[in-house]
Amino acid sequence: MKKAYFYELMDKAERSLHRDEDLILAFQGEDSEFCRFNQGKVRQIGKVHHDRLLVRLIHDQRHALCELTLTGQMTEDASRVASTLGSLRGMIPHLPADPYLLQNREPRSSERLEKNRLPSIEQWTDAVRRETRGLDFVGIQAAGGIYRGFANSLGQRNWYENYNFNLDWSVYHEADKAVKANYAGLEWDDRTLQSKMQGCREQLEYLKKPAVTIKPGAYRVYLTPMALAEVMSLLEWRAFGVKAQRTKASPLRRLVEGEQQLAPAIHLSEDVAGGVAPDFDDFGFTKPRSVPLITGGKHQGALVSARSSREYQLEPTGAHEGESPESLYLQPGTLNSQSILKQLGDGLYISNLWYMNFSDPEACRMTGMTRFATFRVQNGSIQGPVNVMRFDESLYRMLGENLLGLTDQSELLLSSSTYDSRSTHSLRLPGALIDRFAFTL
C-alpha cells in the first residue's frame, strides 16, 4: 500500500519536471506500536503512523532538498510535492555547484519485502506481564513495520519493508542494583523471552549478596554481547568510513596503515543481508550484501558514501554521508557460550558498559564504566556483585593481544532509539573473553 502510494507520488511529480532536471524522492515510514512498562505493569501504550518524504531537485551539478511529512491524502500530498519542487527550483540558481554530488545514473530497481511475523500487541504485552510477574521490571517495547523507498526520474525504483520488535528492559533489586537485558528480532518467541527472564532472575539472586569493590588493576573479563556492543558503537562514529580513514581522523588509523593489527579471530563486516537496514541509499546506489572491514585482524575495506566515491574515485558501497555502519557483524569464535563462566575461571563477568568515550583516539584507547550486573567470578562460579568500576583500554589489547576468544554464538542487537523515528541500526556480536583488562578506578 505504502509502496504504491510512494510510486504514484513520484509519477505525478515527474510530470512537472523541466528539461535537464533530475528528481529524487526518498521515502521513510513506520507503523509502530509502543508499550512502556513500570513495575511489571503496562503504563503507557500507543501507536504511531508516520510517513516522510525527502524531495531532492538536481540541475547543473546543483541540488536543493526539502523534507515533507505526508498526510496520506494523494491530492494534498501531490500538490505539496509540486509546490516544493517550485520552491527548490527557485533556490537552485543561487546555489554553488557541488563538486562531490554523485547520483546513480544506471538505474537498478529492487524490492526487499520481509514477512510480518509479529504477534498482536495484546499477545506480546500479555507475555511480558506473565514472565515479569513479581519483578520490579521497567522497560519499553517498540514493534511494527519500517519502510524505506527510493525513486528517481531516471526510472529507478527501490522498496524495503521490515517488521521487527525490540524489548529493552531493566529488572531492579534496589537502588542502582539492576539487571539490564534486551530481546529483539523479526519473530517473537515466548520461550526465548522466558529464557532471558529466567537469566535475569538468576542474576538478581546474586545481586542480593553484598557488593565488593575491587582494586584497580588488570583482570580477566568476559564481555557479554551487550557490553561489547558499547565498544563497537563507539567505533562506529568514525572508524570505518573512507573519508575518516583517508584524512587520518579514524581511531583505527594504525590498523588501516598496517602499523598494528587485531587478533586473527576478528572478522568484522557491514552485513546488510543480516541486518534490518535498507539495501540502498538516498542517491540510488545499492549496497553489497556484505562489505568486509577487518579480516583476520587486518584492515580489509571501508564504507564509501556517494560523496566520498566522487572525491576519492572509489566504488560506492551505499553508505550514508556519515559513513558509519548500520548492520555491523562480528563473526563468532569457538568458545562454548554455555560454559563461559568455567572458561572465565577467576575474573569479572561484565553485562554492561556505559559512558564510553575515547581517552586517546590515536591509539584507539577507550574509557568507560561498568554498569548494572557486573559479577566477581572465582573457580567458574559467580561470587557476588562488584561495585561500579572505570576502565581504560586500547582496542588493540582488548581485541588484539589480550583476546582469549569469542563465543560460538552471536546475538542480534537492534537499536532501541526512537528519536525522530525507529532506528534501522543493528549489531550482531558474540561475547568476548579478554585477559588483563585494565581498570583504573
Query: In tens digits, what is the pLDDT along the chain, a chain of 441 residues?
Result: 899 999 999 999 999 999 999 999 999 999 999 999 998 899 999 999 999 999 999 999 999 999 999 999 999 999 999 999 999 999 999 999 999 999 999 999 999 999 999 999 999 999 999 999 999 999 999 999 999 999 999 999 999 999 999 999 999 998 778 999 999 999 999 999 999 999 999 999 999 999 999 999 999 999 999 999 999 999 998 999 999 999 999 999 999 999 999 999 999 999 999 999 999 999 999 999 999 999 999 999 999 999 999 999 999 999 999 999 999 999 999 999 999 999 999 999 999 999 999 999 999 999 999 988 999 999 999 999 999 999 999 999 999 999 999 999 999 999 988 888 999 999 999 999 999 999 998
So what's the pLDDT on residue 63? Answer: 97
Beta-ladder partners of 217:
439
So what's the pLDDT on residue 177? Answer: 85
Closest CA to 184 of 139, 151, 148: 139
So what's the pLDDT on residue 413? Answer: 95
What is the Cα–Cα distance from 295 to 265, expressed in whole angstroms?
8
CB-CB neighbours of 108 under 10 Å:
12
Total-model pTM: 0.94
Alpha-carbon distance values, 347 to 40, 222, 288 (Å): 33, 8, 41
Give every CB contact of residue 290 below 8 A, 6+ residues apart in sequence: 269, 270, 271, 272, 273, 329
So what's the pLDDT on residue 372? Answer: 86
So what's the pLDDT on residue 174? Answer: 84
Contacts of residues 121-125 at CB distance under 8 Å and 24 or more positions apart, as own/partner, are: 121/33, 121/35, 121/45, 123/188, 124/35, 124/165, 124/167, 124/188, 125/35, 125/42, 125/45
At residue 219, the 3 state secondary structure works out as strand
Phi, psi of 233, deg, nearest 5: -65, -35
At residue 76, the 3 state secondary structure works out as helix
DSSP run (H or E) holding 235: helix 225-236
Phi, psi of 285, deg, nearest 5: -90, 130
**Angle formed by the axes of helices 74-91 and 2-14, to 10°?**
50
Give 95: exposed, middle or buried? Use CB within 10 Å, 0-12, 13-18, 19+: middle
Sign of CA dihedral 243, 248, 250, 252: positive
DSSP run (H or E) holding 431: strand 426-439
DSSP run (H or E) holding 350: strand 347-360
For every residue of 109-171, DSSP letters joined together read -EEEE---BPPPHHHHHHHHHHHTTTSEEEEEEEEEEEEEEEEETTS-EEEEEEEEEEEEEEE
So what's the pLDDT on residue 176? Answer: 77
Beta-ladder partners of 67:
54
Q: How many CA atoms lie within 13 A of 25 on its CB side?
A: 33
Give 60: exposed, middle or buried? Use CB within 10 Å, 0-12, 13-18, 19+: exposed
Domains annotated on the chain, with CATH: 2-205 (3.30.2290.10), 217-439 (no CATH)
Residue with cell 537469566: 199
What grid cell was written down for 267?
572478522
